[in-house]
Structure 1
């Protein structure tokens, strides 16, 4: 129903109405009109128009006052703070013009009647006509008022929304983005409150906010009303969902779950003045469990995909779960404004070559690195003491902080997640940030020289001192086509998505042991025999890591499969060749609880490792857990592009024993498209290549170990480096021979190692020998691709 030209119900609005009701309200109307029948639920409501705002200003004679006040500020006759206060006070004291007040009252009554209530609780949100645009988010620039009940309270909240168009941060941001104050108007959105105070709420993006990886939905969640997540007052849960598998029946394509501390929750506070909400600490039980079930996370992700598909661009959305009905609602949707604007053809990679001791860690925002002196700031009122180019360290930020955030080299906060205000604004400004650090304001001090690194994956670090940095630029416009597949070596799930734009042919080597060491952290036997564990310190740490798991072995399967899924997601639909764990005994012993289950070996490099462990009674059950993680990765999450590789398999007899255990665990070669490779790193793999080829689909040459064992040279010896050379004729003979024998038997051969990167001629030798694929670290991809193209052209 159209109440007037100044008040419009959401169902009568669409995204073409930005000039009338601002980006936020236009988007809500668009979803109500076009997406309700596709399962997108938006709370009902109405909006005041830009015309109503202009009429309010004109009726109170405020146009001239605003213009003169802003001119006085521009001429430095008054401060920004004085200008903003003067304008806001005048707006809040204004009277409603004839007819406009009555229109708002009648719309509120109609909304209440629709809900079957006399006075419905509403959220009152500001929607500027220049916000939520593809190139400017105006994140949190204007006010929101929650749990507003009654006509008089609504009218008061509307005035305050109008006034918030002239906060210090809003005036500054418009100037920064080049928007003319005279051309920006404000609409007020009034929506039925979702009882998320009894449930939860949060933010989600239809794109990875740090890398631009476009195949995931990122969801942040906290208990209670959503302001805490948006403002970064809490560290929320974080869930990533793989979009391409959402419509496949029976799959649960969640590829990351990080439990947030969720320190506070915002609740209704009936009877109080003002916003009528309050923050209370969460319980231990609430902090220890996820806000969303897996099914709810998948439902939200499907809604994100639907909304993105309708708008045709990556989207930034806010959601709320009604605690009474369990229903999920979308309460805002706007275009994502950072990653979607990035140039596709060129990207930069940052790395720290040398750094000092780690001082603080948190969630990394962006992929850059910055150094400078720490400047601890407690509140925006202290912004005059901030030094340009310093590292801003504070508990959390809100839009009042924007004037100093844009002057910072980097930003570090105690609270917040990757969808908090600090994260959103720092991305937009191109400033690296660490959020959710917990204790940065306690551990860092003013004028301390530090380096803030967001270039090492999801976890960012603050290092002591000014570090040595390296920046590489990758131009993807002229990548040559090659017959030989060039793939990537990957181990760290946290950094995998950084490389999704590389036109690689898949992941030729994914190192399981890295994920076990850095993500799982626990020896599998320590989980299987937890009650017998003698190390009390390890028991306590394992108990904390596995909280919520009745069967501690399930922690290993779940955590390992999720870590591997983030690598598989970057490769899909190309193959990911996953090497099963290839720790040496001393490395297994370093895992939590591991020392009790590992023997001491004088030479673990050629000791109890690889296939020999997998069928041994002392580790066989641990290997079964590895297999179950891979089966979950393929069958439950959905990454059937994952192939398995067995390392250090000395004899065909060992291969038979390992393959039998895999078959028992539901990983049978040839079933559901599963291919199984073997590492070629021992001379016996070459000598008996025909026998290995009858058991495996292919070989992956580990050039380091093959060189070491062919030449009898310890690759780590500081006395024999002149003898360790993958280009030695004996090693080349081994490589050419296994390629010939494998191809004769119908098996494929790849090579994973640095030699093709280090020696261009070596890449051409591999091409000449007929290698099927070469797998290298991402930094070397373009270089090796060019070497291979040259070799194929010769």
Structure 2
């Protein structure tokens, strides 16, 4: 045991009870070493100086009154924030060490060297404020970190700089805004053995989706070299998403998504011109290679779950991989302070009311929309020029930029990922931000009117002009209980993540074609028959999209599986009904390389679509790729809640042929719990409903096509739009017959068409007929739930 007044504490002797002594960061490192080592979590060895050592340093150099004086001058307006901070930092850096403290730091460093078996071990020197990372305040990034520090003299100098960083401009401003007394906050210095991630990679990790608040995923970001580039947003990192509920099943690989970042630079060790690190360009191979393999992604995700469980709250962590030993370490862990504090019962949504020209896109941070005049600020020296209410456009931000970020209506950066400084601060401030655009500062001019939309999925868009938008707040706490199963219609994976808070029991329609069209972009047959492609431009575009895949068809399977898995995870374990591709031939032709494999049809709506494609030699190999993606989602990732749905199945013979083809591809109805549904969108499906029920596990009514074919009206015809009405008696009679046939055969039946989202009286009709489920567009869920409750109450 160390004496109570000893200025040093080893991490292994610390716990979360020691925040006042060594700050939140260092206390957390000690907590993990002491309690989570048995769980296999590795944390680098080290020690911390105490808050008392900091106060003794101030007293020894007569600094406290001088600091108070400078702060008083600033409060009275005599000195600017920058002048005040610069003056205080210079005073602290010039101070002398109390002899006992310097000796103690030196002895602890030599002990660390002995433990490592090195003459001069390289260490990371990190600041840890005693009020840091509280549940209602995040000081992250406000104080300095110094990497690759070696030798006692260099260590003592780095410790002085850490003390001085307690008075950076942004730290002073933050404490003033939060009402903290500057002199009540002390600083501990953490001295931690360096992980040689300069020879491998590092990054950050959250045990919650930091954009949507979805609590069932771990989000990991990674770049080559030391981790500061990821934290500061200097590079666009790799991003991995892992589904937490399936992590304990070691036979599964619940990785929902892997996105390759550009990783333009990497931070490595340096020993020249007084620098201990330097940024160098990454190689072409590094840029197109993932930093982490699947096993490492899963290991980190499991650690995130353990850490979150131990702390009892969502966590924000930093990790590093040692390029010499291959080991992975957690180097920091602190509470997540944005999504975990949002009111669970309130859902705020944004939507554009008009369309505009998309100038460029990037990563959407948050789910808001903002508009204003762009103002390009290229360096911190120009910060004072920023005008409140403008859209801040810059390369990247660091904590010095926080004062003007608070004044911005929205933020656009060239570089950075979801966990960069700009992203973190934007979330905390509730500001719409589009990160990592690559082109923002070069394409926008000062004063140019733009609209930022982060409400259209994971891709944030920057539009020309000031577009109108709506902002709606919904209270989810006072909704009535109902018996009818309310489900969602979902097109994109990002939309599924966005709407996870809605009180629905599954997804009634997940549209596979959206993933193919917007994410994959390539016709599957063009991938399978790439060498036969005649279109040179299509071949070039396919080469670019599939450059990281040895097998081009694997690109289709992998990307489709990731998209489906993300949708399925958002509602697990409730059923998620995935409709196999339902493009028409003219739509398939628009995919890259598609024209060579599609015939021109006079009436594609009634042509080569749906079930007829799946067993045809013209598309069967493409359908096999769709089946492979479903099989991967259910059996490798583990999302067995995925239900397959077959669209536009015209005859019983066709149904049998499709089921045979699926079985040949490893998707056997009933095996491993696989259910297969069929769409009810052709009068034949109703006329022979009992026979179709013998072949399928459920029905889903597609009211749009059913109306079109029952009434003989082209649903896209402007001239006949008055005749197209799902509430026509003929259509409602057809739907009534389908529901009654399903009830007679004990087959589940729902509806996924547009009508329930649009017409309250149509909802009443469905409930009165006893439909099992209603699948809706997200924006109509709340209103329909209330309407269903009214109708159900009348039936009692």
SS at match of 1:197: helix
Give 1:270 shift. 3.0
- In the alignment, the residues of structure 1 paired with residue 218 and residue 773 of structure 2 have an alpha-carbon distance, to the nearest angstrom, of 32
**What is the DSSP-based 3-state SS (H/G/I as helix, E as strand, rest coil) of the residue aligned with 1:354?**
coil
Contact 1:699 1:748 in 2 (8 A): yes
Q: Which moved more, 1:689-698 or 1:783-792?
A: 783-792
CA deviation string 1:724-772 (max 9, x = no partner): 1111111111111111112211211100122112211111111111111
SS at match of 2:359: strand
Shift of 1:644: 0.4
Alignment of 1:115 onto 2:116: yes
Q: Output the CA distance in 1 between the equivalents of 2:351 and 2:68.
A: 48
Quick one: distance in 1 between partners of 2:217 and 2:783?
29
Compute the displacement of 1:478 (Å): 1.5
CA offset at residue 333 of structure 1?
0.3
Q: CA deviation at 1:551?
A: 1.4
1:330 partner SS = strand
Aligned to 1:28: 29
* Pairing 1:561-580 to 2, within 5 Å after superposition: 561-580=561-580
d(CA) in 1 for partners of 2:563, 2:353: 26
Residue 2 of structure 1, CA deviation:
3.1
Asked if 1:105 is matched to 2:129, the reply is no
CA distance in 1, matches of 2:154, 2:547: 45
Distance 1:533 1:788 in 2: 52
Aligned residue in 1 for 2:599: 599
Residue matched to 2:337: 337
Superposed CA offset, 1:243-265 (max 9, x none): 00101121110111110000000
Q: What does residue 216 of structure 2 align with?
A: 215
Q: Distance in 1 between matches of 2:639 and 2:697?
A: 19
Q: Secondary structure at the match of 2:92?
A: helix
Rounded to whole Å, the distance in 1 between the matches of 2:565 and 2:704 is 27
Deviation at 1:227, TM superposition (A): 0.5
Partner residue in 1 for 2:383: 383
2:459 corresponds to 1:459 = yes
Q: CA deviation at 1:480?
A: 1.6
1:2–1:12 Cα contact (<8 Å) kept: no
- Say whether residues 1:753 and 2:753 are aligned partners: yes
> 1:648 corresponds to which residue?
648
Distance 2:140 2:537 in 1: 45
| Mapped pair 1:513 → 2:513 | yes
- State the distance in 2 between where 1:725 and 1:583 align: 23
CA contact (8 A) 1:221 1:292 kept: yes
Deviation at 1:272, TM superposition (A): 4.6
1:632-680, Cα deviation, whole Å (9 max, x unpaired)? 0100111100000000000000000000010011111111111100000
Alignment of 1:457-536 (within 5 A): 457-536=457-536
Supply the distance in 2 between the matched residues of 1:531 and 1:135 (Cα, whole angstroms).
58
What are the Cα deviations for residues 240-291 of structure 1, in whole angstroms up to 9, with x where unaligned? 00000101121110111110000000000135524x0000000000000100
How much does 1:352 deviate? 1.0
| Inter-partner Cα distance in structure 2 for 1:33 and 1:386 | 47
Counterpart of 2:161 in structure 1 is: 160
Structure 1 match to 2:349: 349
What do the CA deviations read for 1:467-502 (whole angstroms, capped 9, x no partner)?
Answer: 110112221112222111010000111221111111
Write the distance in 2 (CA, Å) between the matches of 1:495 and 1:708.
28
Aligned residue number for residue 636 of structure 1:
636
Q: Deviations over 1:366-399 (max 9, x none)?
A: 1111111111111111111100011000000111
> 2: CA distance between counterparts of 1:412 and 1:355?
20
Paired position in structure 2 for 1:726: 726
CA shift for structure 1 position 790:
1.4
Q: Distance in 1 between matches of 2:262 and 2:133?
A: 29
- In the other structure, the counterpart of 1:61 is 62
What is the rounded CA distance, in whole Å, between the counterparts of 1:550 and 1:20 in structure 2?
A: 54
2:374 is equivalent to residue 369 of structure 1: no
| SS of residue in 2 equivalent to 1:270 | strand
* Alignment partners' CA distance in 1, 2:483 and 2:146: 60
- Report if aligned partners of 1:243, 1:305 keep a CA contact under 8 Å in 2: yes
- 2:430 matched to 1:418? no
Matches within 5 A, 1:708-719: 708-719=708-719
Aligned counterpart, 1:197: 198
- 1:378 and 1:571 map into 2 onto residues whose CA distance is 43
Judge which range, 200-209 or 493-502, deviates more.
Answer: 493-502
Deviations 1:110-159 (A, max 9, x none): 11100011110000000011111111111210000000000000000000
Answer with 378-387 or 197-206: which moved more.
378-387
Q: Shift of residue 779 of structure 1?
A: 0.8
Hey, what does 1:236 align to over in structure 2?
237
Question: In 2, are the aligned partners of 1:139 and 1:425 still within 8 Å (CA)?
Answer: no
Q: Is the counterpart of residue 785 in structure 1 residue 778 in structure 2?
A: no
Q: Work out the CA distance in 2 between the residues paired with 1:271 and 1:391.
A: 39
Residue by residue, what CA displacement relative to the aligned partner does 1:180-216 show, whole Å, maximum 9, x if unpaired? 1011001000000000000100001000000100000
2:317 aligned residue: 317
Q: Which residue of 1 aligns with 2:72?
A: 71
Counterpart of 1:621 in structure 2 is 621
Partner Cα separation in structure 2 for residue 248 and residue 483 of structure 1: 33
Residue number in structure 2 paired with 1:581: 581
Aligned residues: 793
SS in 2 for 1:130: coil
Contact kept in structure 2, 1:10 and 1:29, CA below 8 Å: yes
TM-score, normalised by the number of residues in structure 2: 0.99
Equivalent position of 2:38 in the other structure: 37
Give the corresponding residue for 1:557. Answer: 557
The residue number in structure 2 matching 1:548 is 548
Q: Helix, strand or coil for the counterpart of 1:138?
A: coil
Distance 1:89 1:495 in 2: 50
Could you tell me how far apart the structure 1 residues matched to 2:37 and 2:446 are? 52
Structure 2 residue aligned with 1:144: 145
Question: Which position in structure 1 is the counterpart of 2:16?
Answer: 15
Secondary structure of residue in 1 paired with 2:197:
coil
CA distance in 1, matches of 2:463, 2:140: 30
Q: Distance in 2 between matches of 1:767 and 1:82?
A: 69
SS in 1 for 2:99: coil
Query: Unmatched 5+ residue regions in structure 2?
Result: none
Q: Is the 8 A contact 1:513 1:581 kept in 2?
A: yes
Distance between the aligned counterparts of 2:781 and 2:753, measured in 1?
12
C-alpha distance in structure 1 between counterparts of 2:425 and 2:17, whole Å: 26
